[in-house]
Amino acid sequence: MEAKNATSATPAAAAAPRRRLGLKLGGLAVVAAVALFGYSSLSARNTAPDVTFVKLDGEKVALKDLRGKVVMVNFWATSCTTCVGEMPQMISTYNKYKDQGLDFVAVAMSYDPPNYVLNYTETRKLPFKVALDPQDTLAKAFGDVKLTPTTFVIGKDGSILKRYVGEPQFAELHQLLEKALAA
């Protein structure tokens, strides 16, 4: 009886390495597919989405109409202490580079009450475009932005050059802007 069990176990034992190899190859195929999808998604995300901002005064500004300029899109909220803390440097950055072709859109998150955004914009005299995103349409288009502040630097050709989550290192940001504006 033992001999029969040994011989009947031998084909199964011989098939086990083939199954493991098949699982490894299948796993590699899955990893390769995920990597390819990730790469193609990254390539697609390298171009800024085709969105239209609605400013506080109701004026619409299409991002594609800003092509030829370097554009910063900053997702922020009046309740975000980091956002409020970085805003003076954002104003300074905009003022420093606006005459060289920089444009700037500050997008208030959907949970930010419009009257708070309007009050902040007026009392701080924000010199750039301020838009509302009441349905999260803009946040979703930019990769489902949830964390504030999140800032995108978009090149003259519409490509996303950099995404900052949190307050950027302003010296690094300025170097990036200078390079992009000179291009």
Rounded CA separation 30/69 (Å): 40
Q: What is the pLDDT of residues 41-80, one digit of tens each?
A: 344 459 999 999 999 999 999 999 999 999 999 999 999 9
pLDDT along the chain (183 residues), means of 10: 50 58 48 40 70 97 97 98 98 98 98 98 98 97 98 98 98 98 96
